[in-house]
Structure 1
């Protein structure tokens, strides 16, 4: 039975690149799948050409080609990290961490209530600094990955997912930041009791998200990227 040659393997790599597969790990997976599928065709039809066999396998991916597969893999990774984030956050409202969360909430609430406008300004300053820290750290993280991609001449699917996951703290909470700023300045830094409850809840959520993101999510992303790089280092 005829086997795929090294030249044909390279042709399949070029074929995946021409069809907008930019991630090297996905390219390798597709090349392996297509090569095996073509060899299976040769078992039953040894006279079919390599090019025709390749086109037959490509058509099996549907009208969107490889794009649908990439989007599916990205969605799976996003789901994985979203579930990880939710799971870790929920731990802070279940025993024993709920005690820490409640204590933190009370400390922040009484601090804001008893310090008046000064406490509100300090709390707002904390939120603004946190927001800026997330943004700067996110840009540094993305720049580092881009630099590695340029150095290696390759990119990984997990890196693209890391970009969007890393934007969650800034994009996801930006609406809350602006809502708080508007409320504080609209009331001349003298918010109502209900406003203090909202502000305290938002600050506690911010602290929990920062803890989870930098203690769990970011290390997991970095580890996944390193494992992918190691796996394909000599490929």
Structure 2
């Protein structure tokens, strides 16, 4: 027997009831469950749809869909960071390399002055303001996107939410940098290292908050062919 459209819709509801909120994963699980149900019916033709569905669900074990969800989240996070890395590498090729070098030397020269600690604190404040502003903006954009569609996609969720969460976590650790003694910036190796870190951090923030969200439509269409339907 082949499942009917109402039965397929029932499977979507079933996945949502078991805490799978992402449409892409729901579709994968529905396809898997549908195949299992049809296979079960071949051997046990008298089973009802609900009985066959529950029997197929038992194959997922004690934790149900949670293990599948965790695997998908790891895969999508890996894909997201691959996008980050790809974009970051672009800033070390021309013409973006010019901007990268200018940013590095501006930070390096600033940290080589007697105002090094004040400059670092100022940079931290600017980054914090930028992160908070962009987090609010991305949250609003995500709400607007959700208003246009009732489907939730895992990669879309990561693009519009993870940037803010990851940035805030890292920013919470940055104040430790300002416990340096006043003369620590007399060491050129320290100045050089902090300049590299600050440059990379600024690029990472800009990529995660600005570039990737602006490319969200393209990335989602590449990942989910059905996204544009």
Q: Same fold (TM over 0.5)?
A: yes
Measured against aligned partners, the alpha-carbon deviations of 1:138-184 in whole angstroms (never above 9, x if no partner) come to: 22212321343245333222233221244323322431x2122333x
Residue correspondence of structure 1 range 97-112 to structure 2 within 5 A: 104-112=103-111
Aligned to 1:159: 156
**Aligned equivalents of 2:207, 2:227: Cα separation in 1:** 29
Q: Is 1:197 matched with 2:220?
A: no
128 and 29 in structure 1: CA distance in 2 versus 1, 3 angstrom threshold: same
Measured against aligned partners, the alpha-carbon deviations of 1:96-118 in whole angstroms (never above 9, x if no partner) come to: 988875665445323332x422x
Aligned to 1:170: 168
**Aligned equivalents of 1:87, 1:233: Cα separation in 2:** 24
Aligned to 1:129: 126
181 and 222 in structure 1: CA distance in 2 versus 1, 3 angstrom threshold: farther
Structure 1 unmatched ranges of 5 or more? none
Q: Is 1:224 matched with 2:219?
A: yes
156 and 126 in structure 1: CA distance in 2 versus 1, 3 angstrom threshold: same
Measured against aligned partners, the alpha-carbon deviations of 1:46-104 in whole angstroms (never above 9, x if no partner) come to: 22221221112111112111121111111101012223334544666799988875665
Give 1:14 shift: 1.9
**Aligned equivalents of 1:65, 1:220: Cα separation in 2:** 34
Structure 2 unmatched ranges of 5 or more? none
**Aligned equivalents of 1:110, 1:160: Cα separation in 2:** 39
Aligned to 2:19: 20
Aligned to 1:64: 63
158 and 100 in structure 1: CA distance in 2 versus 1, 3 angstrom threshold: closer
**Aligned equivalents of 2:92, 2:32: Cα separation in 1:** 45
Please say which of residues 147-156 and 100-109 is displaced more in the overlay: 100-109
RMSD: 3.3
110 and 87 in structure 1: CA distance in 2 versus 1, 3 angstrom threshold: same
**Aligned equivalents of 1:101, 1:8: Cα separation in 2:** 55
Q: Is 1:180 matched with 2:173?
A: no
